[in-house]
Structure 1
Amino acid sequence: MGINKELLEILACPKCKGDVQLNDKGDGLICPKCKLLYPIREEIPVMLIDEAIKLS
């Protein structure tokens, strides 16, 4: 399981339009500016603000 590196380069946080990073587990994308985790389900990033998980 993983996300295509080229896809990761073009994805942006839908809230702030900033860059996102793959988390350590590889099951989500983190926006460090908004402190949100966007989950990856079945190898598809769910880039919906309502689905994001707030990080502390």
Structure 2
Amino acid sequence: MRFRIRKCPKCGRYTLKEICPVCGEKTKVAHPPRFSPEDPYGEYRRRLKRELLGIGRKEK
């Protein structure tokens, strides 16, 4: 297993287990995705961000 530390999205506690021992929620990996200078999905990520924030829309 590469990343060991995990975080519970419900209560915010860190653990090494797949299930949070406090609230029983499934935990997620606490590490950010690996950085790549090529950023193969950057265009799609920026497009989604613009759509969600409403940036770039022309008001009539």
Do the two structures share a fold, i.e. TM-score over 0.5?
no
Q: TM-score range by the shorter chain?
A: 0.3 to 0.5
Higher relative contact order (CA 8 A, sep 6+): 1
TM-score, normalisation: structure 2: 0.33
Higher radius of gyration, 1 or 2: 2
